Amino acid sequence: MSRMNRRRFLANSALATASFAVARSSGWSAASAAARRDRRPNVVVILTDDQRWDCMSCAGHPFLKTPNMDRIGREGARFANMFVTTSLCSPSRASYLSGLYAHSHQVLNNFTDYPATLPSYPRRLQESGYETAYVGKWHMNEKTDEKQPGFDYWASHKGQGTYSDTAFNIEGKREVLKGYYTHRVTDLAVDWLKRPHSRPFLMIMGHKAPHGPFEPEPKYAKIFDEIRIERPKTANDTGDGKPSWVKERVPTWHGIDGPLYGLNDYGKFVRGYLGTICSVDDSVGRVYESLKAIGELDNTLLLFMSDNGFMIGEHGAIDKRCMYEESLRVPLLARCPELIREPRVIAAMALNIDLAPSTLDVCGAKPLERVHGLSWKNLASGASSDWRKSWYYEYNYEKEFPYTPNVRGVRTDEWKYIHYPNGDDQPDKYKAELYNVKDDLLETKNLIDAPDCAGQVKALQSELNRLMVAADALPDRMPVNPAMKMELPEKSIR
């Protein structure tokens, strides 16, 4: 062996030994580390429950600190205008998976499972050679914890789960995981990440937090006790200009003065909600560090988002479902150095139905056919891209929660038009709403009857009809409460 070849041999041997040691220390076998030549990006999705868009310090919250969430945005992109097309847990989760509006995927409430035959981005990635896992809260069909199609690994539970000692189904074995939910689900996620992976992987991690009734872990139970919590400016914004159903809801379970979650101390209510998010932020940090430890952080599309927003007293409500900003706006943070080469805040309106096409686009997988969402890959990379100027919102009446009617609406960068399909029958109770969200983000002035806005109303009604036709969401094809007449907006709004 020549001196040069011997030197190269020794150098390569030393490198191989070092790589083997790193692989072993991080939980990877030498064989799997060597076999991981498919460098398509991994995907890790962290999904919270009921976290509104402004409950992160990077989004401007006045006292909640979320350094680990902030880090994802600081090293990647924060979508400042991210929305869900139905503000309800299961329908929104199904829209994330499928890229479809709720009327198409038919998960219209929290008691329906994801259709077994419906394509999803996890199934498509699995078909494309990805190793897939779901860990945590699934929250479609309250009565089952069975493994769902599209996932090689499964660790979930029935329904909401509990903040302490949740019974999980871990690959067919049922076990109560003692301790605080956020930590136990993070343990499962981190353990799975540190397994040997010879293929690119997708892991979706579903948190329970910050869904109520809120139970912060002990170290965060009193973290905000010294902070004075004021009711929101729109807490009493339920009368003039608003449809009367909004005011009528206030005394119910989902009104700010109703009995939901034992609500007799508003400050305690808000502190509890925010306290659970602190633990989620710790979890985000652990996932980030685990990806770093296995050498996959910079080869991973790391996403953070929520299934819907949550009103904590705005418009007199403790809920979601309706089309107010606090209900339908959620976080979206994305980190992927190969895609997002410099940090950016993206103002374009992104939707939950965009996750499926975007993820598949980033991973180079075959797209799902006939989805409603768009890929934000070019937006994230900073490339110029034609993008939506408006989008369609729908909420479908639930007999279990009769205080919120059917909702159809359209939002643009500047305007929001909300239509209640039974408006002709009860025009005062279900009066349409029009807001200039550019100037009135708190939605305090319903301009539906303003003479100088008549042209804007007509234009938005026309745009709503156009979006409904484009989404195949015509009234005769929509699920509705039989007591509520469905008509196109210009026919039914006064």
* Average pLDDT score over residue span 387-410: 93
Same domain, 72 and 107: yes
CATH code, domain carrying 484: 3.30.1120
Same domain, 302 and 159: yes
Q: Decide if 9 is inside a domain.
A: no
Q: Decide if 409 is inside a domain.
A: yes
Q: Decide if 355 is inside a domain.
A: yes
Q: Decide if 22 is inside a domain.
A: no
Same domain, 77 and 208: yes
| Helix extents (H) in 322-381 | 325-328, 355-363, 377-381
How far is it, in rounded angstroms, from Cα 357 to Cα 425? 39
Dump pLDDT digits (tens) for 72-87: 999 999 999 999 999 9
Q: Using alpha carbons, select from 334, 335, 340 the residue that is nearest to residue 354.
A: 334
pLDDT of residue 487: 55
Same domain, 382 and 459: no
Same domain, 369 and 431: no
Domain count within the chain: 2
Q: Which residue has the tokens 């070019």?
A: 378
Same domain, 322 and 263: yes
* Average pLDDT score over residue span 264-286: 96
Same domain, 216 and 348: yes
Q: Decide if 395 is inside a domain.
A: no
Dump pLDDT digits (tens) for 295-345: 999 999 999 999 999 999 999 999 999 999 999 999 999 999 999 999 999
Q: Are 169 and 184 in contact (CB under 8 A)?
A: no
CATH code, domain carrying 181: 3.40.720.10
Dump pLDDT digits (tens) for 458-492: 999 999 999 999 998 877 666 655 544 555 554 43
Q: Decide if 16 is inside a domain.
A: no
Same domain, 278 and 181: yes
Same domain, 364 and 485: no
Q: What band does 31 get if pLDDT is binned at 50, 70 and 90? A: very low
Same domain, 416 and 277: no
SS3 202: strand
pLDDT of residue 478: 67
Q: Decide if 12 is inside a domain.
A: no
Same domain, 323 and 470: no
Name the residue range of residue 298's domain.
40-386
Q: Decide if 35 is inside a domain.
A: no
Same domain, 306 and 440: no
Please name the helix (run of DSSP H) or strand (run of DSSP E) that holds residue 155, with its range, or none. strand 153-156
